[in-house]
Amino acid sequence: MSSGPLRIVVLLFPRVTQLDFTGPAQVFSKFPNTEVHLAWHDLDPVTTDAGWCIVPTTTLDDCPQADVLFVPGGEGAFDLFEDPKALDFLRVQARKARWITSVCTGSFTLAAAGLLTGYRATSHWASLRMLEHFGVEPTSERVVRDRNRITGAGVTSGIDFAFTLAAELFGDDEARKIQLAIEYDPEPPFDYGSPSKADPETVKNIIAATENLRMATVLTSASALATAQHSS
């Protein structure tokens, strides 16, 4: 690693799932010699899915080069399919980033930018299998690493993703110390937090509803990506 600070660049956007960002961000805050840059088109507060806002620290135009490029998820991740400047920002940043990462449906934004084609990746379970339309191998794991891509599954998986990243960057001992510092020792009151543990009919219905909501947008973006990749 270089002697300068590690730069983590986070792409913010309206309707981001706040825990997709704030969970990893709490872990990032404990990284040694690290800067976290929150990038968006402007510096106006960005409304999250929780109704309150996160304030960007830089614009897409002024953002420094990332060592770690990170995209959280949320409904707004699919709106980014029609935001060529945001997708171009990701492509340009990815050229020199050491790690290209996401949590939850942030993997769809990376996929729409062509940054997960031919890679294994994960996402929220209700949307996961739609990744295949972008030439991605959907992988149902909490955290998936494929070369320099690290993707986390849904929402709370972002915390596990951040510890995986910490271990890659600073070693297992440093990751363990951060885990202890934030007392990350989950004991959920209900053993119902994944589709493998939930009622199968409920899972089936949620996947169907999610695909009904998002499939047209996914197919349109995947078609545009395929055309662009074929012509390049």
Residue of 117, 77, 93 lying closest to 8 (CA atoms): 93
- Which one of the listed residues 63, 104, 159, 166 is annotated catalytic? 104
Q: Which residues contact 212 (CB under 8 A, 6 or more apart)?
A: none
Q: Which residues contact 67 (CB under 8 A, 6 or more apart)?
A: 6, 7, 8, 97, 98, 99
For the chain, what is the largest distance between any 2 Cα atoms, rounded to a whole number of angstroms? Answer: 53
Is residue 53 part of the annotated active site? The answer reads no
Report how far residue 17's alpha carbon sits from residue 77's, in angstroms, rounded to the nearest whole number: 9
Name the residue with tokens 């990032």: 28
How buried is residue 135: exposed, middle or buried, by Cβ count under 10 Å (0-12/13-18/19+)?
middle
Query: Which residues are catalytically annotated?
Result: 104
